[in-house]
Structure 1
């Protein structure tokens, strides 16, 4: 849920593509999201029945998808620390934030912490009999984290829209008085970009939350279609890749 970080929007200056790519791949989240894209693209192909299940290529694709899933868990080692630090530095300006902030960062932090043991179980270092319970705890923690994150970001989005309306009024007044409004126009452009990124972040959390909910339900129910979940995973991966690309 890297989308919850304060620095969601950090558009860098135009620079050489390969230098930008190097900076992107140097980040843990950058490599992780590329793996996420490849994993859920594979899942979509498998779920769409484009390849017969008995075809050797289909079997190799299943093995690849499973291997990438385990590899991604390794990238989460120690990642729960960022949520501990986020909680330590959080400012609780309202009663809602007192509830929602611990839900968002606490849920995500617990999810990343438990995922370390899920990885050890899938890697064979600890007894696999603990995996079912660990995965259930992980899924619930992830779902709770996304619930808190979506609620917080929805409040942020409302604040951004209100700021846009105030700025629109200021621009209209400047136009009526014949004054310049170049600064206000630039601020409006930044707010619109911020609003777009916030909306994308909320969509991403909804997509990831859907997958967490499916894990809680053990893949049962109308919202647990393999193709739907794979599509949600790919959508989330593309959005987070876009955000990480802009921020590096």
Structure 2
């Protein structure tokens, strides 16, 4: 490592970026864990897992995540506000006035307003995606329109300071993109190398187009109830937020 690189990294370490990562019951753990790794590897970034209380939060895959601070303790002007997704848990978060008010408040002042998977529905419900391009899990992406957003079929969507990732595993791509924005591309490449993130999936089935209708149709049917309830919840909440 050259002296110039050492100086650059030293300056990065002197930063005081505050990253708020929302945690809520029945969220999808991998939505959060992938980006959290990237943020935790970012020199000068303080990463906080923020819940309504400090009690352990059970995720939808049934292991617990322990918040490091509460809504009341969270910095008022964060560098990043991040929202993970889920299904029934995400619906509950959208319908919970305390959670939605926290996201709307911090999102209004954050440098970067971000999400992975259906976490973007929470942002939309909080009134933070109106007039912005955004993405979400493939089974819910079109529902973003109920919150005034323009749905985009892409792995990561960047529109001004709104950065949204598609479903679940897209959190890894999202995390690296945001680290590059917060630091630089070379640093993000270093984080990618540290993680040995060089995906070679065993099957080409990560999107509906790749998987085909035979596999996609039954999965989409599983989301019918969620889609119906989510579009109503997002529309109602976003209407109150405007």
Same fold per superposition (TM over 0.5):
no
TM-score (norm 2): 0.27
Structure scoring higher RCO (CA < 8 A, sep ≥ 6) equals 1
Alignment TM-score, normalising by the size of structure 1: 0.27
Structure with a larger share of its residues in strand: 2
Q: Greater helix percent: which structure?
A: 1
Structure exhibiting the larger radius of gyration computed from Cα positions: 1
